[in-house]
């Protein structure tokens, strides 16, 4: 039963493709291009079938496109240059700010180390009996 169904489906597909091909024959297809106009007297056509006027128009359009392309390339080169300059500027700003941050961090660390050394010396002197170097007692909160 399945074999008959597959055979029938294949036959139907073959018939349908034949009908589709009939619609695509050159006799039934509309003309894609209009018939060429008769050539004017004195115009020489190139081997590719173009007239001098068509070749002149093509050359003019090619020159205009080349001019636009050069302008676009110049604009792009300027944008790339500006972007590179901006990146270099941003990198310099980052380097400067990082150096300033590191310098401040080193200054604070040195100041902190100096204060700690002074505190340790005062604490050692207080423990040794020099009460002038002892920290004042913490205030007692009122009750």
In terms of residue numbers, what domain contains 105? 59-133
Count how many domains the chain has: 1
Q: Which ranges in the chain belong to alpha helices (H)?
A: 2-23, 52-128
- Is 139 part of a structural domain of the chain? no
Distance CA 125, CA 134 (A): 8
- Rounded to a whole number of angstroms, the distance between the first and last alpha carbons of the chain is 105
For the chain, how long is the longest CA-to-CA vector? Answer: 127
Tell me the CB-side half-sphere exposure of residue 19, using CA atoms within 13 A.
6
- Is 27 part of a structural domain of the chain? no
Residue 76 scores a pLDDT above 90? yes
- Is 30 part of a structural domain of the chain? no
DSSP character string of 65-79:
HHHHHHHHHHHHHHH
pTM score of the predicted model: 0.46
Residue 41: its pLDDT value, please? Answer: 47
pLDDT 10s digits, 86-139 = 999 999 999 999 999 999 999 999 999 999 999 999 999 999 998 888 888 888
Residue 15: its pLDDT value, please? Answer: 61
Residue 75 scores a pLDDT above 50? yes
């Amino acid at each position: 039963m399945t074999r008959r169904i597959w055979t029938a489906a294949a036959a139907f597909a073959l018939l349908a493709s034949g009908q589709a091909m009939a619609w695509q024959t050159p006799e039934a297809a509309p003309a894609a291009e209009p018939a060429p106009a008769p050539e004017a007297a004195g115009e020489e056509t190139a081997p590719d079938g173009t007239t001098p006027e068509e070749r002149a128009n093509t050359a003019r359009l090619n020159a205009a496109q080349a001019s636009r392309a050069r302008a676009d390339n110049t604009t792009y080169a300027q944008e790339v240059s500006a972007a590179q300059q901006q990146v270099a500027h941003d990198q310099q700003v980052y380097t400067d700010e990082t150096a300033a941050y590191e310098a401040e961090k080193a200054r604070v660390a040195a100041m902190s180390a100096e204060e700690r050394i002074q505190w340790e010396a005062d604490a050692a002197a207080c423990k040794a009996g020099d009460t002038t170097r002892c920290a004042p007692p913490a205030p007692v909160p009122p009750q």
